[in-house]
Chain A
Amino acid sequence: EAQVTQNPRYLITVTGKKLTVTCSQNMNHEYMSWYRQDPGLGLRQIYYSMNVEVTDKGDVPEGYKVSRKEKRNFPLILESPSPNQTSLYFCASSLRWHFTSTDTQYFGPGTRLTVL
Chain B
Amino acid sequence: KNQVEQSPQSLIILEGKNCTLQCNYTVSPFSNLRWYKQDTGRGPVSLTIMTFSENTKSNGRYTATLDADTKQSSLHITASQLSDSASYICVVSATTGGSYIPTFGRGTSLIVHP
- Contact (Cβ within 8 A) B32 A102: yes
The 9 A-B residue pairs whose C-beta atoms are closest, nearest first, are A107-B43, A42-B106, A43-B104, A99-B95, A102-B49, A42-B104, A104-B46, A107-B44, A97-B100
Assess whether A45 is interfacial by the CB under 8 Å rule: yes
From known contacts A50-B99, A97-B100, A102-B51, infer whether A40 and B42 are also in contact, taking CB-CB under 8 Å: no
Assess whether A41 is interfacial by the CB under 8 Å rule: yes
Residue of B nearest to A92 (CB): B43
Q: How far is the CA of A44 from the CA of B107 in the complex (A)?
A: 13
Q: How far is the CA of A98 from the CA of B91 in the complex (A)?
A: 16
Assess whether A15 is interfacial by the CB under 8 Å rule: no
Secondary structure type dominating chain B contacts: strand
Contacting residues, chain B, for A99 (C-beta < 8 A)? 31, 95, 98-100
Q: How far is the CA of A109 from the CA of B102 in the complex (A)?
A: 20
Q: Chain B residues in contact with chain A, CB under 8 A?
A: 31-32, 34, 41-46, 49, 51, 89, 91, 95, 98-102, 104-107
Q: Looking at the complex, which one of A42, A48, A50, A108 makes contact with B105 (CB distance below 8 Å)?
A: A42
Q: Chain A residues in contact with chain B, CB under 8 A?
A: 4, 35, 40-45, 48, 50, 56, 58, 90, 92, 97-99, 101-102, 104-110
Residue of A nearest to B105 (CB): A42
Contacting residues, chain A, for B107 (C-beta < 8 A)? 42
Q: How far is the CA of A4 from the CA of B32 in the complex (A)?
A: 23
Rounded to whole Å, the gap between the CB of B50 and the closest CB of chain A is: 8
Q: How far is the CA of A91 from the CA of B107 in the complex (A)?
A: 18
Q: How far is the CA of A43 from the CA of B31 in the complex (A)?
A: 19
Contacting residues, chain A, for B41 (C-beta < 8 A)? 110
Q: How far is the CA of A20 from the CA of B42 in the complex (A)?
A: 20
- Contact (Cβ within 8 A) B106 A97: no
Q: Looking at the complex, which one of B46, B89, B99 makes contact with A97 (CB distance below 8 Å)?
A: B99
